[in-house]
């Protein structure tokens, strides 16, 4: 079986949109510091590109989560593989994700973070698949709404491959 990648969002389109979203975030948090939480591993490329373009003071922390159960569908029960290094009390927390799909992982994660009493808690995602939503999650910043197709690149993988592609592509198996 061969895998081909069809470009959905080019490198230029993604970069341009990140510039716009970073400007909006910098405006919204004007005069404040934002604490970015990168959700590993998929969120790492987007977090770096976004962080470089923010004009407000930024601090960063990293979390790694995985959902228990079947590999293709998230169960909603999330296992924390790597926890935060610092507490969140009083911080303006912005969670940075690669994609919001069913919303199960995020809904669990946001509840977990909210319990640490941040001053504010928002969510920013590179990609959003609205058709796939099972759990309602409020996403504050969305770079792109995409159709229900399996995508790779810019941090997103298929069997751990393609994370390093500088664009977003749809994987086609034939
Ligand atoms: P959710 O709990 O269903 O929202 O799961 C979101 C997670 O599923 C993401 O953080 C990704 O790791 C993974 N995921 C969902 N859709 C895709 C996709 O199209 N390509 C690659 N990974 C995906
Ligand atoms: Mg993810």
3-state secondary structure 50-86: HHHCCCCCEEEEEEEEEECCCCCCCCCCEEEEECCCC
**pLDDT band per the 50, 70, 90 thresholds, residue 73:** low
What ligand is nearest to the CA atom of residue 40? 2
Q: Would you say the CB of residue 168 lies under 6 angstroms from ligand 1?
A: no
* 114: alpha, beta or left? (left if phi > 0; alpha if psi -120 to 50): alpha
| 170 Cα–ligand 1 center, Å | 13
pLDDT, position 76: 66
Please state whether the predicted TM-score (pTM) of the whole model is above 0.85.
yes
Closest among 58, 1, 46 to 168, alpha carbons compared: 46
Question: Averaged over 92-96, what is the pLDDT?
Answer: 98
Least confidently predicted of 4-8, 73-77, 98-102, 167-171: 73-77
Nearest atom, ligand 1, residue 42 CA = 12
Confidence of residue 173 (pLDDT cuts 50, 70, 90): confident
Domains of the chain: 11-148 (3.40.50.2020)
Q: Is the pLDDT assigned to residue 47 strictly greater than 90? A: yes
Say how many Å lie between the CA of residue 5 and the centre of ligand 2.
Answer: 20
Average pLDDT of span 121-139: 96
151 lines ligand 1 (CB under 6 A): yes
166 pLDDT tier (thresholds 50, 70, 90)? very high
């Amino acid at each position: 079986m061969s895998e081909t990648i069809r470009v959905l969002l080019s490198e230029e389109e993604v970069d341009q949109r990140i510039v716009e979203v970073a400007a909006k975030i910098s405006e919204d948090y004007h005069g404040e510091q934002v604490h970015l939480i990168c959700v590993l591993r998929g969120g790492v490329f987007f977090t770096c590109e976004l962080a470089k373009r923010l004009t407000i003071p930024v601090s960063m922390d990293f979390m790694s989560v995985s959902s228990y159960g079947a590999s293709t569908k998230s169960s909603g029960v999330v296992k924390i593989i790597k926890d935060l290094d610092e507490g969140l009390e009083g911080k303006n927390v912005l969670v940075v994700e690669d994609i919001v799909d069913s919303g199960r992982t995020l809904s669990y994660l946001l509840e977990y973070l909210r319990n640490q009493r941040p001053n504010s808690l928002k969510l920013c995602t590179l990609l959003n698949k609205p058709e796939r939503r099972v759990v309602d999650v409020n996403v504050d910043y969305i770079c792109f709404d995409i159709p229900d197709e399996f995508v790779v690149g810019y941090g997103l993988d298929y069997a751990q491959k393609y994370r390093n592609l500088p664009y977003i592509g749809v994987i086609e198996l034939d």
